[in-house]
Amino acid sequence: MQRRHFIASTTTLVSTGLVGCQPAPPPDLPGGFTGINLMRGHALRERLGTGPLPTPHTVRHTRVVIAGAGVAGLAAARGLQLAGLHDFVLLELEDQPGGNSRGGKVGGMACPLGAHYLPLPGDDAPEVQDLLEELGLRQRVAGRWQYDERHLCHSPQERLFFQGHWQEGLLPTQDIGANTQAQYRQFSQAVERLHQQAHFAMPALKTWQARQRLHPTHQQLDALPFAQWLEQQGLNDPYLRWYLDYCCRDDYGASTTQVSAWAGIHYFASRHGFHAPGDSAHGEREGVLTWPEGNGWITQRLATPLQTDGRLQPATSVLRIAQERHNVQVDVFNHATHTLERWQAQRCIVALPVFIAARVVQPTPPFLREAAQRLRWAPWLVANIQIVAPLQDRPGAAPAWDNVLYGDTNLGGLGYVDAGHQRLDPRTAPTVLSYYQALGDLPDGRAQLLQRPWTHWRDAILSTLDTPHPDLRQRAVRMDITRYGHAMSIPVPGTQQFLSQIGLSTPANQGPYRANGERTALRPLPATARLAFAHSDWAGYSVLEEAFTRGHHAGLWASTAL
């Protein structure tokens, strides 16, 4: 679930005559909650109660069950197939697979319902690199990798509404003082120094296996909140602190007061660094792959073959995963037939969020129980706003893919992206703006998300967007809001130390494995004799590279163990 990189460009108003011929919107913008069924799991628990489950009348057999069809579950299915194992089933609670990387439509236009971009993966993520090659997104030309420019984020990439104007880039730069510039440089130097002291990898587990423990530098950073570390460094400039707060809420769902210093540094050191204005690299952004439907473009391509041959079972709630002596029993509720079913398999890949896995796995392994107690999750919402005509723009930088508001008055607001940014047709057209809001800093954010009517969120979002776009209410014709009660794990202090100990003490590592003629070492995963746990929660934060890599190696583990 992130939004710092997405899909945007609100096309500049061409003429007032064009806008004048558009139909007037209704006085109350229509819409509602959509995207995922938050009540499905809750209602099922109430219906079945807390006692023993009835014995299912239908028993099915397969070699591997994958519980959860988010990025990790889909990657596990692909890993099994790469190993030549095709006898498996993939079970998903929602009607649509993809987890936090689903796509949707508003007014017939594709838009994201969650995560919406993928930075070009580095050498620490060869599993993701291979996937992109398989999908035709990159190829080797004259000895160098080239990415399909149609899928790279088009320029301009990002802008910030700051002091009544739009500026290029998201780091405040207009009319800032010498102290701000000095602190930008100081933080840039600190990131580089820490990067030299210890390797920051995406995915993070690549550093775990390399050292068989968490690096001392990582341990020190993981022990305290990012805000406290910044204070210790004398980094208190309000513009720098706003930007770092924004980055943490964007990738982790909560601010610098909540996430660890490890997470705050990892955001930059594992990818593109931090470049102060005036640095030679300042203004050069990392390459980003994005689509109108966000990362749903990727997950749908992973899911479609599985949907076609029936191995993906949607609308299926996993109620119980029990390790037996000779097999694994997975009891489910089929929402299509309203019946209880049982799957028997030799192995199960648990690609469920940790808090759900702890409820359904029986008996619950101690490390899973402790993880469910220690981890925290951030609620999120994504509001997709259909507009029928280009918006008038304030002075400054041209409309961009990523549009952020400095000092967003909507608590947790992260700005919006434009689903029409990747169009090759230069003519103006209706589009969808996807506004993101992370609620990890609200103590009762999850309760508010569940209890408040959709109009509460609609009105707050429209109010915050009034300042940069006073004509939005006249152009908008619909707003659909997708809610995530547990969108992503928040990397609070101590998370990396705790999760790395689990990963390295219970490794699903059966030694080198050969797939497609290549030998590879399996990565450390939490596991028992018949279960492997694969989800971005086990990284402590939610990004595609983490989920995909863990799922991929869980698939290899299941095939190797058999």
pLDDT score of 47: 58
Q: Are 350 and 67 in contact (CB under 8 A)?
A: yes
Share of the chain above pLDDT 90, in %: 75
Tell me the pLDDT tens digit for each residue of 321-342.
Answer: 999 989 999 999 999 999 999 9
| 487-517 pLDDT tens trace | 999 999 999 999 998 887 765 554 555 445 4
pLDDT at 162: 95
Given strand 476-490, what is the order of strands in its sheet? Answer: 31-33, 476-490, 376-387, 431-438, 413-418, 402-405, 158-162, 165-168
The conformation of residue 433, written as its DSSP 8-state character, comes to E
pLDDT cut 70: percent of the chain above it: 88
Neighbours of 491 (CB within 10 A): 31
**Category of 282 on φ-ψ map: left (φ > 0), alpha (ψ -120 to 50) or beta:** beta
Asked if the model's pLDDT at residue 200 lies above 70, the reply is yes
What are the beta bridge partners of residue 345? 328
Please check whether residue 95 is in contact with residue 557, taking contact to mean a CB–CB distance below 8 angstroms.
no
What average pLDDT does this structure show over 192-210? 89
Beta bridge partners of 110: 105
Distances from the Cα of 136 to the Cα of 6, 84, 130, 302, 536, angstroms: 20, 22, 10, 13, 25
Q: What is the mean pLDDT of the chain?
A: 88
Can you give the pLDDT at residue 15?
28
In this structure, of 68-72, 110-114, 281-285, the range with the lowest mean pLDDT score is: 281-285
Query: Is the pLDDT score of 372 beyond 80?
Result: yes
- Which of 51-55, 144-148, 315-319 has the lowest average pLDDT? 51-55
Give residue-wise pLDDT tens across range 466-486. Answer: 999 999 999 999 999 999 999
Q: According to the model, what pLDDT value does residue 447 have?
A: 94
Each domain of the chain, given as residue ranges in start order, spans 44-101+293-374+492-561
Residue appearing with tokens 């490794």:
507
How far apart (Å, rounded) are the C-alpha atoms in residues 207 and 555?
21
Question: What distance in Å separates the CA atoms of residue 118 and residue 100, rounded to the nearest whole number?
Answer: 13
**pLDDT value of residue 37:** 75
pLDDT in tens, 395-454: 899 999 999 999 887 889 999 999 999 887 767 789 999 999 999 999 899 999 999 999
Mean pLDDT of 163-181: 94
3-state SS of the chain: helix, strand, coil percent to 5?
35, 25, 40
- What interhelical angle do 126-134 and 544-561 show, nearest 10? 90
Confidence band for 11, pLDDT divided at 50, 70 and 90 = very low
Q: Which pLDDT belongs to residue 12? A: 32
Provide DSSP, 205-249.
HHHHHHHTS--HHHHHHHTSBHHHHHHHTT---HHHHHHHHHHHH
Residue 5 has pLDDT above 50, yes or no: no
Query: How many other CB atoms sit within 10 Å of the CB of residue 466?
Result: 13
CATH 3.50.50.60, domain 44-101+293-374+492-561, yes or no: yes
More confident residue, 41 or 243: 243
Instruction: Specify the higher pLDDT residue, 4 or 123.
Output: 123
428: exposed, middle or buried (C-beta count within 10 Å: 0-12, 13-18, 19+)? middle
Q: Give the tens place of pLDDT for each residue, 16-45.
A: 333 334 444 446 899 999 987 777 766 566
